[in-house]
């Protein structure tokens, strides 16, 4: 047997407690009470006092070793973190040029785009849009490193699509998120969808989603970007937002191709409002308007509102044309 084999057998052994092979542990202090452990008899008063002292020493030794174990665990975590940081330095992805990383970001973000959540909400004009979810693309790219964040913020195509669930006015997250998202989109055409939060109980949700209470604030945010709208989807608009909706539709939208509007409760917009609305969208081809004029009836006012002659796909609350 060579010297290396002997050293291995001496320095490592199978633990009797866990069965794992690890360096030989330090010999523990032997018990001075083996005779009492092997015999079935009660110790006298002096032996009992000595046993109590021995137990105190053993407990103190265990506490010291557990503290040492916790310290070693913290050191292992720190060493692992240091190792990961140094592995990152030599990682192949660091050799990729920013243009390649940007393309990877675009492809991953495209995979995150999803259609509308429920079958009832889908129509043939549904577009794939990005939902802003923490730890998912594209927000995920801003969490990895300063370099990745800078690359992500330099790609407007990551931010020109937005499908946003709206909440109460008391929760300004949706408003702030919408502002941030649109600012990052540069000058690219925009695909925007705003939809309401559902009911708390699934059974009630079948009756329809709640109109979102911060719709007017959100519509005011997207209004200045009318010249860049390519697809606009507003779902569950409450009656309080109908006047602002008509103002929104009156804004010139030179590249708008798809317009989808689902009304909340009450579903009918006062017909007098349509008299001052003229949709100025020369490229509009797809129109989905839930319950136009009520019960899917198109009145003369709606006929003057929308550029019907240029539309190629029309859905008036389930009536496909």
Q: Following DSSP, what letter does each residue of 300-314 receive, concatenated?
A: HHHHHHS-GGG-SEE
CA 315 – CA 306 distance, rounded (Å): 13
Euclidean distance between CA atoms 26 and 29, whole angstroms: 9
Residue 284 has pLDDT above 60, yes or no: yes
Residue 280 has pLDDT above 60, yes or no: yes
Q: Cα 168 from chain centroid?
A: 19
Is the pLDDT score of 9 beyond 60?
A: no
User: Is the CB of residue 204 less than 8 Å from the CB of residue 193?
Assistant: no
Residues present in the chain in total: 321
Residue 7: what pLDDT? 43
Q: Among the listed ranges 3-17, 85-99, 130-144, which one has the minimum average pLDDT value? A: 3-17
Q: Do 233 and 192 contact (CB within 8 A), yes or no? A: yes
Check: CB of residue 214 under 8 Å from CB of residue 174. Answer: yes
Question: How far apart (Å, rounded) are the C-alpha atoms in residues 270 and 59?
Answer: 82
Segments making up each domain of the chain, as ranges: 31-90, 96-315
Give the residue with greater pLDDT, 220 vs 172. Answer: 220
* Residue closest to 177 by CA, chosen among 187, 188, 163: 163
Type and span of the H or E element at 196: strand 190-196
For residue 163, what are its two tokens?
A: 């499908």
pLDDT at residue 196, rounded to an integer: 73
The dihedral over CA atoms of 233, 238, 241, 243, expressed in degrees to the nearest 10, equals: 100
Report strand pairing: 190-196 vs 161-166: parallel
Give me Rg for the CA atoms of the chain.
34
**Mean pLDDT on 63-76:** 94
- The reported pLDDT for the residue numbered 199 is 41
Alpha-carbon span 36 to 43, nearest angstrom: 7
Query: 264 or 157: which carries more pLDDT confidence?
Result: 157
**Is the pLDDT at 113 greater than 90, yes or no?**
no
Place of tokens 């559902």: 198
CA within 13 Å, CB half, 25: 12
* pLDDT for the residue 35: 73
Res 296 pLDDT > 70 = no
- The pLDDT score that the predictor gives to residue 273 is 58
Q: How far apart are CA 136 and CA 17, in angstroms?
A: 44
Between 317 and 210, residue with greater pLDDT: 317
Query: What mean pLDDT value characterizes the chain?
Result: 77
Q: Who wins on pLDDT, 258 or 6?
A: 258
Nearest to 153 by CA among 139, 174, 164: 139
Candidates 193, 125, 188; CA nearest to 158 is 188
Tokens linked to 71: 């310290």
Most confident of the ranges 3-17, 147-161, 224-238 = 147-161
Are 196 and 212 in contact by the 8 Å Cβ rule? The answer is: yes
The tokens 């785009």 sit on which residue? 113
Q: What is the pLDDT of residues 44-67, one digit of tens each?
A: 888 889 889 988 988 998 999 999
């Amino acid at each position: 047997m060579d010297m290396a084999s002997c050293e291995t057998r001496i320095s490592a052994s199978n633990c009797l407690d866990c069965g794992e092979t690890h360096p030989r542990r330090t010999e523990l202090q032997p018990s001075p009470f083996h005779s009492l452990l092997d015999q079935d008899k009660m110790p006298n008063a002096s032996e009992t006092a000595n046993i109590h002292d021995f137990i105190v020493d053993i407990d103190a030794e265990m506490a010291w070793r557990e503290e040492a174990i916790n310290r070693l665990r913290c050191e292992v975590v720190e060493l692992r973190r240091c190792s990961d940081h140094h592995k990152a330095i030599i990682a192949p992805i660091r050799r990729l040029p920013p243009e390649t990383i940007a393309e990877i970001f675009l492809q991953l973000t495209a995979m995150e785009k999803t259609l509308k959540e429920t079958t009832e909400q889908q129509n043939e004009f549904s577009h794939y849009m990005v939902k802003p979810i923490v730890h998912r693309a594209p927000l995920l790219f801003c969490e990895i490193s300063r370099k990745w964040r800078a690359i992500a913020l330099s790609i407007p195509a990551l931010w020109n699509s937005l499908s946003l669930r709206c909440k109460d006015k008391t929760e300004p997250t949706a408003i702030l998120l919408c502002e941030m998202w649109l600012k990052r989109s540069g000058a690219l055409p925009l695909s925007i969808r705003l939809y309401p939060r559902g009911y708390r109980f699934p059974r009630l949700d079948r009756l329809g989603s709640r109109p979102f209470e911060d719709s007017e604030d959100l519509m005011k945010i997207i209004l200045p970007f009318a010249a860049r709208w390519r697809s606009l989807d507003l779902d569950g608009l409450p009656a309080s937002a109908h006047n602002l909706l008509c103002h929104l539709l009156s804004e010139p939208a030179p590249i708008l191709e798809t317009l989808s509007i689902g009304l909340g409760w009450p579903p009918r917009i006062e017909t007098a409002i349509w008299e001052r609305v003229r949709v100025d969208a020369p490229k509009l081809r797809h129109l989905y308007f839930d319950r136009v004029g009520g019960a899917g009836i198109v009145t003369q006012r709606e006929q003057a509102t929308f550029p019907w002659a240029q539309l190629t796909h029309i859905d008036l609350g389930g009536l496909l044309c």
